[in-house]
Amino acid sequence: MTATEAWTGRYQGSVMNTFGPPQTVLVRGEGAHVWDADGRRYLDLLAGIAVNALGHGHPAIVQAVTRQLTTLGHTSNFFATEPQIELAEKLVELVGHDARVFFTNSGTEANEAAFKITRRTGRTRIVVAEGAFHGRTMGALALTSKQAYRAPFEPLPGDVTWVPYGDAAALTAAVDDTVAAVLLEPIQGEAGVVVPPDGYLRHARELTTTHGALLWLDEVQTGVGRTGDWFAHGPSGVVPDLVTLAKGLGGGIPIGACLALGDAATLLQPGNHGTTFGGNAVATAAALAVIATIESDDLLAHVVTIGDQLRRGLDDHPLVAETTGRGLLVGVVLHQPLAAEAQKAALAAGLIINNATPDRLRLAPPLILSEDEAAEAVATLRSVLDEVSA
């Protein structure tokens, strides 16, 4: 029995079976690579599902976490800490408008906070897009479209109206003066990196403004540099009311955030919401290190260059219908539903990728992926696509 098989057996005997069997058991990571319990090396094109923005074991995060933990670790929200305040100020600066931040530990919790903010408008109806993924807690699940995730837990919080993603006319028809918020991912991640038509977010902003509803953008997957901008909605020029973040923000240390802009910032009042761990000093110190490194290493520009390299390298493969996304959130749409086979073959070839849907692969590598690593990824993935289409 290999070490990986032994660990997998122990996993299955002790960890609740919510994810199915693990693909392998990882023991170490460095930069864009990870190693399994048998010493096999993988190029990580998924980064913990768009989380490890600086890759594995980045010294900036290691030093920030170590320094903070040896200075002051957890305090509870009865007290404020310096890194928490500095991170909130930094996020407000990056979003570019007057805002206030509520810190959480995950994306689903960031969305729970935003959901509660929408209820304080006095309205309850939320307009959400088909294909959306906003998390697994009961509130966020109510706003997540996949039936297989929802059905076992119904009834979920109600008053949700579903519209086809990217369809401006459908959005117009759905939004009226009874709507509390329109909730959208600027690019749908779990749906397989689906990009809406130009002008869609602007249209959503105009409609919500006209009808006194909030525009809530879920940037849990797309935020913090993943698309080559601090926020994927940035290039649209749209100013949302709510923005939710998590994943890449902590570079692997769990943290999420709900940003409320303008008047939305005061909808939650003392006592309306809380969390023991949210805004923890160690997690906020890690996030500050992530943001500082993205700035100092000019990673936003790098993300665009490497994302284009990956897309260009895959676009003309005969099995590829199109590549989608922006920056280092890359969708690879296949002509046939071979994504699961491709993911397995890629793993066997030492490449970690994700089969988001039966015919869509998703790549969300560390933002530090080098040109050479991207070239290696393209070469391996092309031979994997040859293999599964043969």
Ligand X SMILES: Cc1ncc(COP(=O)(O)O)c(C=O)c1O
* Residues at the site binding ligand X, with contacts judged by CB under 6 A: 49, 106-108, 111, 133-135, 185, 189-190, 218, 220-221, 246
Considering the complex, state which of residue 31 and residue 365 has its C-beta at the smaller distance from ligand X.
365
Considering the complex, state which of residue 81 and residue 221 has its C-beta at the smaller distance from ligand X.
221
Considering the complex, state which of residue 35 and residue 277 has its C-beta at the smaller distance from ligand X.
277
| Residues annotated as part of the active site | 133, 218, 247
Nearest approach, Cβ of 295 to ligand X (angstroms)?
Answer: 24
Determine the Cα–Cα distance for residues 327 and 227; give it in Å rounded to an integer: 4
Q: What are the helix and strand counts (H, E) for the chain?
A: 13, 15
Burial pattern 288-326, b for ≥16 Cβ within 10 A else e, equals bbbbebbeeeebbebbbebbbbbbebbeebebbeebbbb
Nearest approach, Cβ of 222 to ligand X (angstroms)?
Answer: 7
Determine the Cα–Cα distance for residues 112 and 138; give it in Å rounded to an integer: 9
Considering the complex, state which of residue 132 and residue 267 has its C-beta at the smaller distance from ligand X.
132
Cβ-closest position to ligand X:
107
3-state secondary structure of 44: strand
3-state secondary structure of 172: helix
Nearest approach, Cβ of 194 to ligand X (angstroms)?
Answer: 12
Nearest approach, Cβ of 371 to ligand X (angstroms)?
Answer: 27
Q: Report which of 325, 319, 305 is spatially closest to residue 375, judged by C-alpha positions.
A: 305
In the sheet that holds 41-44, the strands lie side by side as: 26-30, 33-36, 41-44, 351-352
Nearest approach, Cβ of 78 to ligand X (angstroms)?
Answer: 25
- Residue pair 291/324 in contact by the 8 Å Cβ criterion: no
